[in-house]
Amino acid sequence: MRILLAEDDPIISDGLGRSLRQTGYAVDCARNGQDADTALLTHTYDLVILDLGLGRMSGLEVLRRLRARGSNTPVLILTALDGTSDRVRGLDLGADDYMAKPFELAELEARVRALTRRSSGTTPVVNCGALSFDQTGRSAQLAGVPLDLSAREIGLLEVLIARAGRLVSKDQLVDQLCGWGEEVSHNAIEVYVHRLRKKLEPGGVRIATVRGLGYCLEKPAEERKP
């Protein structure tokens, strides 16, 4: 999952970005509205966390432009402007949720999980054979036993299980796992896949390599469509 965090306060931006990355999200940070608008024009995101009080272009204008382009990307407004009129304007322009500063990090992360889960149209728990992935808690179990996964492995599994039975290229994985300024090579992706594969294989869950193209989390035979 890739998130755009548009926040002009460096302390909030750095702290929130670091927290989200530690749970496996790829996070791009924009410090003003113009940069946020440009990012939304040139990249695809699973969620936007948008401060209303941005410089060079207001958060409301960024949101208005995003919706005018026909984008349904979920938007969580995050702002110190907590008056009813500001909240109503944001929601009327197409925001999906609203939080006022100061906020509890745990609550914000829960809302992020809810919005990304809702936009994907999937149930909270996704299954693939003996493997189950809880999108709410961002955790996985294999045959009922919790898996000890790193943040990168959680992000990788989230992408693969959402596309179970379909090919995912290395470039797609890099795009979903990495934010701006993060250098992750195809070789590093191979390492992450290797580590995750070793943890899944005892339960009969297989990540197939399609040489030169990418990877596929294979569905069990009984789950495949004829």
CATH of residue 161: 1.10.10.10
Q: Do 63 and 107 share a structural domain?
A: yes
pLDDT at 222: 56
Q: Do 10 and 112 share a structural domain?
A: yes
Judge whether 108 and 166 are in contact, CB under 8 Å.
Answer: no
pLDDT at 24: 80
Q: Do 202 and 181 share a structural domain?
A: yes
pLDDT band at 122 (very low <50, low <70, confident <90, very high): low
Identify the domain boundary among 87, 120, 153.
120
For residue 182, the enclosing domain spans: 125-223
Please say if the pLDDT value at position 82 is more than 70.
no
Q: What is the mean pLDDT of residues 113-139?
A: 79
Q: What is the mean pLDDT of residues 27-43?
A: 94
Q: Do 102 and 46 share a structural domain?
A: yes
pLDDT at 96: 93
pLDDT at 22: 85
Q: Do 82 and 25 share a structural domain?
A: yes
Burial tier of 55 (Cβ tally within 10 Å: 0-12, 13-18, 19+): exposed
Q: What is the mean pLDDT of residues 153-182?
A: 85
Please say if the pLDDT value at position 23 is more than 70.
yes
Q: Which contacts of 177-184 are long-range, i.e. CB under 8 A and separated by 24 or more positions?
A: 177/26, 177/152, 178/26, 179/2, 179/17, 179/21, 179/26, 179/27, 179/28, 179/29, 180/28, 180/29, 182/26
Tokens representing 141 are: 């179990």
Q: DSSP letters along 72-88, please?
A: ---EEEEES--SHHHHH
pLDDT digits (tens, 9 = 90+) for 217-226: 998 765 555 4
Q: What is the mean pLDDT of residues 156-176?
A: 89
What CA–CA distance (Å, rounded) separates 17 from 77?
15
